[in-house]
Structure 1
Amino acid sequence: MNITTNTTGVADFDFFIGNWKVKHRRLKERLANCQDWLEFDGNTSVSKILGGAGNVDDNLLDMPGGAYRAATLRSFDVEKGIWSIWWLDGRYPTQLDVPMQGSFVNSEGQFYANDTYAGQAIRVRFLWSMPAPDQPRWEQAFSVDAGTHWETNWVMDFHRIK
């Protein structure tokens, strides 16, 4: 991830450029004390945009109830030193999720937003890490108490397609 040597942050997501097989683990029910996970595969293709100050990925999520496509748009604000991340679910093509914002610190990406889930106000967290060389992990968690406690509800483990 070469994050610690990056002084501007604009190259923080360069590790993610390329094509990936994805192993998804997602809670069957969120914010319901559920311990049952749904596991499924997917593919992701990531490209730079905005002269390298952003990237976009195209995702195929092969869920048991039916596959769907989604996209992520990321852009870096050089003046503020933060990334903004938007998710577009192909099943709801007129809606962008609330943007997540944050940065990489000590080789971990931390991104946050205030949102709602099932009518309830929540705090959302994305964590990016690299548990093994060239095998990034993304995790999503929700909090109903402003970030005191978190429920991780989705994990993606990426494996580069050579």
Structure 2
Amino acid sequence: MTSLIPAAAVAAIDPRPVGKPGDFDFLTGEWRIHNRFREGDKWIEFAGEATVVAILGGIASVEELRIPARGFSGMGLRLLDVEKKIWSDHWVNAKSGVIGVPGQLGVFEDGVGTFLSAGEGEKGDELYRGVWDRITPTSCRWFQGVSRDGGRTWDDGWFMDWTRAG
């Protein structure tokens, strides 16, 4: 299928090269997470937890996410391409053990990390977005969404409010 994603949306997947080691250091530690997730036409809420470590001098961040109430766990792997100064955010579901490639590309600007990728959904071309915002020493938020109109509008369907544990 020929891509119908507008050039502006493709450009959005090519972030400005401003990534630097340590951008994900805020996430290092133990967390409790309040999830709000849309299933069909209703929102459900459930607890989760995560352990995050920064390695390789801050150019890598590894997250183990655990959501016992949903029988779900996985690993977030965030890597900085030091030369290009762009982060890639990958996901590994514990049930498959397969890393999501190529991952969402992004950077942090003005205290917000925005990560994008493109793919084909059931209804055609889609953009996927993950955002880290509301970052403080004791909390942060991540949310994800999809756009089917080249990034003009977003349907955000999963919100995670992170609170530092102990």
TM-score (norm 2): 0.82
Alpha-carbon offset, residue 67 of structure 1: 1.4
Aligned positions of 1:13-162 closer than 5 A: 13-29=24-40, 34=41, 36-63=42-69, 66-96=70-100, 98-118=102-122, 120-130=124-134, 134-162=138-166
- Gaps of at least 5 residues in structure 1 are 1-6
**% identical equivalent positions:** 30
Greater per-residue helix proportion: 2
Contact 1:130/1:136, CA 8 A, preserved across alignment: yes
> What number of residue pairs does the alignment pair up?
149
Greater per-residue strand proportion: 1
| CA deviation profile, 1:47-101 (whole Å, cap 9, x unmatched) | 11223211100011234xx312110000111222211000111122235254000
TM-score (norm 1): 0.83
**Where does structure 1 differ by over 3 angstroms across 4 or more consecutive aligned residues?**
116-120
Distance verdict in 2 for CA 1:117–1:49, change over 3 Å: farther
* Partner Cα distance (1:149, 1:8) in 2: 25
